[in-house]
């Protein structure tokens, strides 16, 4: 039997003001993205903003549906928009934030496994790590580089990639 241990690393900042202007800006874009959240069922609003290399910013917000499983997380709305419309313009940073009137959010919202897996796919596709910023409006900000920090066991199989 072998015991394995995996360490993940991320930075924690106590307020947004500690980040660079560029990082603060993309976090504010994630806040703006939340405006179009369609979340009448959970009342949990999530915004994601992608900073692209060209300077372009892409917004995504969670889109729910009365047929609950048909909804989609903010991150994948933004990421699939990128994949469909801007695949040649690398993603530098993704910022994610959330808000609800129902309770206080005091720690960053971490993307679900499916969203991390989608991020991992595009990170491989563009051959460049993403910076991931998890912005808690009333709490700390977590920053990491590379999806593997949050999803060390992402699914990946070279032999399934079309040549
Ligand atoms: N949600 C996101 O959009 N992103 C996350 O990282 C976590 C969860 C959405 C899905 C659903 O609309 C609502 O938040 C409650 O789960």
Residue 163: pLDDT over 70? no
* Packing angle of the helix pair 113-126, 74-85 (nearest 10 deg): 20
Domain ranges of the chain: 11-149
Q: Structure tokens of 121?
A: 């796919």
Strands (E), the chain: 11-13, 45-52, 57-61, 91-99, 131-135, 141-145
- CATH number for 11-149 (one of 3.40.140.10, 3.30.750.200, 3.30.70.1400, 2.130.10.10): it is 3.40.140.10
Q: pLDDT (tens digit, 9 = 90+) per residue, 44-91?
A: 999 999 999 999 999 999 999 999 999 999 999 999 999 999 999 999
Q: How far is the CA of 96 from the centre of ligand 1 (A)?
A: 11
Q: Which residue among the candidates 12, 75, 104, 128 is catalytic per the annotation?
A: 75
Q: Which protein residue's CA is at the shortest distance from atom 14 of ligand 1?
A: 44
44 lines ligand 1 (CB under 6 A): yes
95 lines ligand 1 (CB under 6 A): no
The secondary structure of residue 84, as a DSSP letter, is H
Q: Collapsing DSSP states into helix, strand and coil, what is residue 96?
A: strand
- What pTM does this model have? 0.96
Strands 91-99 and 131-135: parallel
Q: pLDDT (tens digit, 9 = 90+) per residue, 33-44?
A: 999 999 999 999
Q: Collapsing DSSP states into helix, strand and coil, what is residue 53?
A: coil
CA atoms in the 13 A half-sphere facing the CB of 139: 13
25 lines ligand 1 (CB under 6 A): no
Q: What does the CA dihedral 115, 76, 95, 11 come to, rounded to 10 degrees?
A: 10
Q: pLDDT (tens digit, 9 = 90+) per residue, 94-136?
A: 999 999 999 999 999 999 999 999 999 999 999 999 999 999 9
Residue 159: pLDDT over 70? yes
Residue 26: pLDDT over 90? yes
Instruction: Determine the residue of 30, 43, 44, 75 to mutate for testing ligand 1's pocket, defined as the one with the most ligand atoms within 8 A of the Cβ atom.
Output: 44
Q: How far is the CA of 162 from the centre of ligand 1 (A)?
A: 31
């Amino acid at each position: 039997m072998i015991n394995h241990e995996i360490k993940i690393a991320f930075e924690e900042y106590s307020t947004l003001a500690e980040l660079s202007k560029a990082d603060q800006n993309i976090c504010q874009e994630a806040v703006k993205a939340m405006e179009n959240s369609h979340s009448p069922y959970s009342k949990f609003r999530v915004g994601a903003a992608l900073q692209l290399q060209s300077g372009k910013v892409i917004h995504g917000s969670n889109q729910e549906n009365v047929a609950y499983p048909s909804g989609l997380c903010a991150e994948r709305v933004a990421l699939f928009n990128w994949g469909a419309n801007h695949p040649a313009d690398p993603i530098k940073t993704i910022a994610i934030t959330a808000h609800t009137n129902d309770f206080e959010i005091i720690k960053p919202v971490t993307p679900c496994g499916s969203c991390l897996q989608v991020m991992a796919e595009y990170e491989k596709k563009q051959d460049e790590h993403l910076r991931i910023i998890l912005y808690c409006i009333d709490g700390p900000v977590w920053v990491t580089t590379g999806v593997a920090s949050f999803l060390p066991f992402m699914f990946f199989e070279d032999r399934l990639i079309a040549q």
